[in-house]
Structure 1
Amino acid sequence: MEVTRRWQNCCSYGCQHRSGIFCFPGAVAAAGAHVILACRNRLRAEKAMAAIGSRVPGANVEFMQFDADSLTSATALAAELRGRQLDILVANAGMIRTPLSREPGLLEYERTMTTNVIGHARLLGELAEKFRQGSLRLITLGSMSTLMLRTDPSNLKLETDYHPYRAYVQSKAVLQSLGIGLDHRLRQLQWPARSIAVHPGYSLSGLTPQIEGINEPDFAKRLTGQLQASFAQGKHEGSVAIVEAALTKGLDNCAPGIFFGPQLTAKGRISLARPANVTRSKVLQDAAWELFVQANGGLDPFAL
């Protein structure tokens, strides 16, 4: 691709990783990676591993317990991972079916922010030494919704004006901003790791292949998906942005703050994209970093 001036230090690349593999773990397993599925539900994880194995013969996949709604669970997972080689770490939790009314979460935030951000933040803090030791790639999942609804950095706890969709959007904006900000911090520290933010476009279950126990949309969801197919895609297609961020070579030469997404925003070929302005703003990045420090008991694992 031809890169814009903003990305002139980044190598050119193509969307080389689109395949018949139905999800990100399957795609990287097909590339020869050992994949750890850190999941809350062991039964569903085992079904996912079976599905990957049926599509990628010899896939090397294992399960580890992780509940992103729990700091204790994040700490326990980090303890298991410290002795393992880590090349790619994906912050993928995204509570889409957010509570209709505000439910208390950790650190006085509401539950969506807890699940989508705070659990990940604690895990990253516990694994900070991994970022210093080698060329680890962290991939944080933002959302195109951050372009559609304003995020208020002064009301991230949503103690007022709570709405389920606002809770989702603000949690994804914070995670996206944290990922972008961390990449700048890693450059300042001169550590070899990179933090890459991505968004999967407008991805629907109704346009995603059926996987028993994982994705089983009913007729109504299939119909809704087909009616939106001109501007939407399946979740297997949305995962291509993560695969590109994980497997594209030469990203170490890119300017800080890399952001991947579909070329047409909702769908399309994966390209370098422009994130929502608020997620690049100092106001939200400072608020996101403060939340990160709070999630790690008041300590900054990436202090300058």
Structure 2
Amino acid sequence: MNVLVTGGNAGIGYFVAERLASAGAAVVLGSRDAGKATAAARAIRDRVPGASVRHLPLDLADLPSLKSSVDSIVQLDAVVLNAGVALDDPPRRETADGHELMFATNHLGHFALVHWLGPLLGAARIVTTGSFAARTERLDLDDLQSFDAYDPKRTYGRSKLAQMSFGFELDRRLRAAGSRCLSVVVHPGGALDSLTPARAGVHVRSASQRLLGLPAGLLLHGKDSGARTAVHAVLDPDVRGGQLWGPRQFGLRGAPHLEQPHAHMTDPDTAEVLWRRSVELTGVDPMASLVSAGPS
């Protein structure tokens, strides 16, 4: 099994890659930072001797670069759309293309990436990583890039909601086209660094940080546990397209659990407008390549 994990060099993406490698998958780490990807690959091999893991240079904020980025990939059984940017403070930041950075990286980059990966996916699983933060947000379809009202936390939540909306809409379109690809949406719950085990060169956790994080462990978990939903969506044969998987306990921690998505995440009218605007902003349509690739 060949799996691409975007943002696989750090955080939840790293632990998704580590767990998949432990299950025998050949893992491709999509990352714009070669040094961090090398460290992540080394950490995985230290824990999984003989693991097949390599780096794919990938910068989701640089839309024109994505087509050539995937040239070295021959075939994929799954792609985990995980990479993301979360800014804590103003001012609003833009990519070189003039797109708001979080919306561009978290949503537009993945939207375009699926288009360029389309011919390589066959009957693959496309797993989109959303966020608990999307529950309380709503998309402003007249201001998707937060020109008028920029608040970092709100903009981040909306960018993750856009990802989730895309994942559910992608499933609807794949089903209508008779595709064998599956689009599944997941979220990691409340995943904290202080509850995440250390990995050499990837994540450092001091004894004091571990102790300070213990009380939070009653409700939340580490990024290693948060990765379980995406791994489940990739590997479990009973997973179906259009599903949402999150942690079992209050959606915040625990084993993967099938959730009922909130109505605003699956609203087809909102998704239709978001899809159309995303095509306009990226210049590509994922379904064009997925359908032209044909069944496999």
Same fold (TM over 0.5): yes
Q: What is the letter of the counterpart of residue 55 of structure 1?
A: R
Report the equivalent of 1:80: 72
1:284 to 260, 270, 276: 270
Q: Which residue of 2 is the match for residue 16 of structure 1?
A: none
Query: Is 2:61 the counterpart of 1:69?
Result: yes
What is the rounded CA distance, in whole Å, between the counterparts of 2:212 and 2:144 in structure 1? 32
SS at match of 1:196: strand
Match of 1:4 in 2: none
Does the alignment pair 1:200 with 2:196?
no
2:165 maps to 177
Residue of 81, 86, 97 corresponding to 1:91:
81
TM-score of the pair, normalised by structure 1? 0.84
Moved more, 178-187 or 101-110: 101-110
* Alpha-carbon distance in 2 for matches of 1:44, 1:76: 21
Once the 2 structures are TM-superposed, how far is the Cα of residue 155 of structure 1 from its aligned partner?
2.5
1:29 alignment partner, SS class: helix
Q: Which amino acid aligns with 2:141?
A: P
- Answering whether residue 156 of structure 2 is matched by residue 168 of structure 1, we say yes
Q: Which residue of 2 aligns with 1:275?
A: 261
* Contact persistence 2:112–2:286 (CA under 8 A): no
Q: What is the CA RMSD across the aligned residues, in angstroms?
A: 2.0
CA distance in 1, matches of 2:208, 2:152: 22
Contact residue 193 and residue 222 of structure 2 kept, 8 A: yes
- Go from structure 1 to structure 2 and tell me whether the alpha carbon gap of 1:28 and 1:300 turns closer, same or farther (over 3 Å shift): same
Alignment of 1:122-201 (within 5 A): 122-131=112-121, 134-201=122-189
Separation of aligned partners in 2, 1:57 and 1:41: 23
Which of the residues 231, 247, 252 maps onto 1:262? 247
Contact 1:144 1:199 in 2 (8 A): yes
Distance across 1 between alignment mates of 2:227 and 2:263: 23
Deviations 1:139-195 (Å, cap 9, x if unpaired)?
110001111334433322111221110111000000111011101111100011111
- Report the Cα distance in structure 2 between the residues aligned to 1:96 and 1:213, rounded to whole angstroms: 21
Kindly provide the amino acid, as one letter, of the partner of residue 62 in structure 1: R
Q: Which 10-residue stretch deviates more, 95-104 or 220-229? A: 220-229
Q: Within 5 Å, give how 1:181-260 maps onto structure 2.
A: 181-217=169-205, 221-251=209-239, 254=240, 256-260=241-245
- The question of whether the paired residues in 1 share the 8 Å contact of 2:171 and 2:184 is answered with yes
Q: Which runs of 5+ in 2 are unaligned?
A: 1-13, 292-296
- Could you tell me which residue of structure 2 aligns to residue 100 of structure 1? 90
Matching residue within 48, 51, 54 for 1:56: 48
Tell me the secondary structure at the aligned position of residue 158 of structure 1: coil
Name the SS of the counterpart of 1:167 in structure 2: helix
Q: Which runs of 5+ in 1 are unaligned?
A: 1-21
Q: What is the CA distance between 1:54 and its match in structure 2?
A: 1.0
Q: Is the 8 A contact 1:181 1:285 kept in 2?
A: yes
**Normalising by the residue count of structure 2, what TM-score does the alignment of the two structures yield?**
0.86
2:291 is aligned with 1:302: no
Report the count of equivalent residues: 275
Distance 1:300 1:68, change over 3 A: closer
Q: Which runs of 4+ in 1 moved over 6 A?
A: none
- Judged with a 3 Å threshold, the aligned counterparts in structure 2 of structure 1 residues 164 and 296 are, in CA distance, closer, same or farther, namely closer
Give yes or no for contact 2:112–2:285 (8 Å, CA) kept in 1: no
Secondary structure of 2:84's counterpart equals coil
